[in-house]
Amino acid sequence: MTHCAFCHDIKPDDILISTKHFFAVPDIVPIRNGHIILISKNTI
């Protein structure tokens, strides 16, 4: 399995919303207040 730079430190409590293909988490260094990151569940 390929290592994902985005997924390794995410805790379930950090996930704001999750769908079949993506999940959203707050950015740890946000550019603007409320900035989130969308991450694909399929590593390519």
Number of domains in the chain: 1
φ and ψ of 43, to 5 deg: -80, 130
pLDDT score for 8: 73
Q: Residue 17's domain spans which residues? A: 1-44
pLDDT score for 19: 96
* 24 contact partners, CB below 8 Å, separation of at least 6: 15, 16, 17, 18, 36, 37, 38, 39
pLDDT score for 1: 43
pTM: 0.72
pLDDT, tens only, 1-39:
456 777 777 889 999 999 999 999 999 899 999 999 999
pLDDT score for 4: 72
